[in-house]
Each structure stands twice: as structure tokens, then as C-alpha cells.
Amino acid sequence: MNEAISPQQVLLYPDYPTQDKDEINLFDLIRALLKRKSLIITITSIFAIASIIAVLLMQRSWQAEIRFMPPKLKDIHGLNVQGLANQDGEEQGYKEVQYTQASVYNKFFTNYQSISQRRHFFNQNELIKYYQSEPDEDKIVRAKSMERAFKEFNNSLKLRLPKKKTQVTFVSSTLEFTDQTASSEYLNKYAQLVKKRTLNDVLQEVTSKLQQKQTNLKEQILIKKRIAKQIRENRTYILSEAIKIAKLLKLDGATEVLPNSEVEVSPLYLRGYEALEAEKKILEERKDDTPFIDGLIELEYQYSQLSEQIKRLANGKDKFSVVTIDQKAITPESPVKPKRKLIVIMSTLLGFIVSLLIIFFLNLTQKYNENYQG
């Protein structure tokens, strides 16, 4: 007779999970790696050697850097026309557009980024030789090659401007080039070219405004002289009429006029023809009306002041500057491209990872064959 077994007498054993045949055991994988370590070394070495050969064959590039800072106040002070003083030292109120450190600094960088300016520099210095070994005979192909080379040069010439446009601060520019010495040489040459062009633009603008003032003053002077001449000619004609009347009345000298409230101005002929003929003769012999023209001397003085200002600007270009070169570009010591160490390290690491994936795949294939085909 079977005795009943109580639940307390039942021994419960935990069900441990059994390993699936398709699962990968970590220890098996480690053993597989150790077993095929020669394969890992081989593949990793192949990647490393290939990367070394590749970086040795890659064209190297050097990067030169130049630093700019705003011009000094004394470098732009002469560009501003503060006012023209007359002979008594009083200002006449002539004012020009005031050039500040920031304004001329920004003009320099505007020209620095100009595509036409860069293309002119590229063609003038024949920089195509650094991007193309031999020129193509076909004109169309040569033009396309030239354009590609210029785009590459334009992209390699970079300007690092501050984020805030109103901020006047240090600015740097870099040029990446395939020639170690030429990188700094052409960067300095381009900076000087833009500096000269910007200064010429500013001086031409100032000179143009001064010349415009001169033109206006000259017109005022000519108008005053023309009016004075017309007044003199009119006076001569009036005197001729008065002389005729005086001779008809036989008035050779001045005649007193009885007081008469109705007569405000005495007729000229009452002065007598002798006095009138003397005045007429003086007017006809006069060659220059300048002393008799009100305000003419002041205008001519202002005109001469402008002439001196224009002459000073033309002869004093060396005294002005639109930018200060804080540090010229120097020949770089090491290339920026390619980054040889980084490329070799990353390629070696990639080779190691590829070798691990290959061994993992081989181990998985081997295990599959043992479980399902053995």
C-alpha cells in the first residue's frame, strides 16, 4: 500500500537553464581568439602597414597664420577733415564722413574676402602651378582646371572674424598650401595687397569729397565774379547816360540840390560830367573786381585749404594705415595634413576590429557545422 506523500516532503530542485547549442560561450570565444591570434596579428598588421604606405603617399599641406589688429588712432587721424578754418581762425562747418578704427578695419576685411580680389591675386602670382603640374592644351579643359584650382585656393584662404560684428578685436587668417615656404609668403603678400588697396580706396573717397567741395567753392567764386563784372558794366552804362545829360545841361561840376522831400536820391548828372567821366574811366580800366566782392577772399582761402589737404593726402600715403599686422605669417614647422599618427592609429584599430569580426564569424560557422552536420 502506497503511503501518501505530504507537500512538505517534496524536495523542489530549481531548474537551471540549459545552454542552447547556438549560444556563444565567452570562454569558447576567448579560446578561439587565442587559437587564431596569428590571424589577428596578420590582419591588424596589414591595415597598419597599408595606412603607413597611404599616409606616405598622401600630399602634405602646411598652414600659415597671420594676425591682425585695429589701426592706431594716429594712423587714421589725417583721414578726417575736422573743419576748414578761415583767416580769422573760425571754422566754416565743413565736415567729412568720420573714419573710425572700426570703420576702416571693416573695410579691410570686406576687401580681404572679395572674390575678385582673390582671383586677381591668384592670377597675378600664377598660383595655378601649385594645383596643376602641366597646363592642358585644350582651352575649355584649361579653363575648368583653372576654376577648380581657384576654388581650392579660395577655400584654403580663411578669415576668422569675431562673432560680434561691432567688436573691434584681434582677427587671424590662415592659408593652407602644398608648399611649406610659399604658404607664409603668399599669405603675407595677399595681406599687404589688400591693405594697400583698402587704403587707396579710403584716400580716393576722401579726395573725391574734397574735390567736390572745391568744385562747389569754385562755382561760388565764379558766380560772384560774374555778378561783380555785370554790376560794373551796368554802372558804366548808367554813368554814360548821366554824362550825356550833364553835358546837355552844361554841368561840369557838382550842383547843389534844394531840399525836397519828394526827391530821395539826387540824380547822377547833378555831380557834373567831369566827376562822372572820372568814375567811368576808373571802372573801365579795372581788371580785377576781387577786392570789391564781399566774401570772395574767404571763399578763395577755403579753396586753397582744400588744395593743400588733397596734396597732403597724395604725398602722405605712408603716414596712414587701415590695419595693424600684429604678427606676420611665418613658415610652419609641421604639416597640418595628413594627420599621420591619427590615421595609422585609427587604421590599426580598425584592422583589429575587423580581425575580431572575422574570428567571430569563423567560430560561429564552425560551431554550427559541429552541431548540425556532426
For the four alpha carbons of 307, 308, 313 and 318, in that order, the dihedral sign comes to positive
In this prediction, residue 309 carries a pLDDT of 86
- Region of 114 on the Ramachandran plot (φ > 0 left; ψ -120 to 50 alpha; else beta): beta
CA–CA separation, 244 vs 32, rounded Å? 139
CA–CA separation, 189 vs 339, rounded Å? 28
In this prediction, residue 220 carries a pLDDT of 93
The model's pTM? 0.67
Residues of the chain under the 70 pLDDT cut: 1-26, 28-29, 32, 81-97, 133-142, 164-168, 256-265, 370-374
pLDDT in tens, 172-194: 999 988 888 888 999 999 999 99
pLDDT in tens, 203-241: 998 888 888 999 999 999 999 999 999 999 999 999 999
Q: Residue 135: is the preceding peptide bond cis (ω within 30°)? A: no
In this prediction, residue 373 carries a pLDDT of 61
In this prediction, residue 1 carries a pLDDT of 47
In this prediction, residue 264 carries a pLDDT of 58
In this prediction, residue 199 carries a pLDDT of 93
Which domains, ranges and CATH numbers included, belong to the chain?
59-258+266-337 (3.30.1890.10)
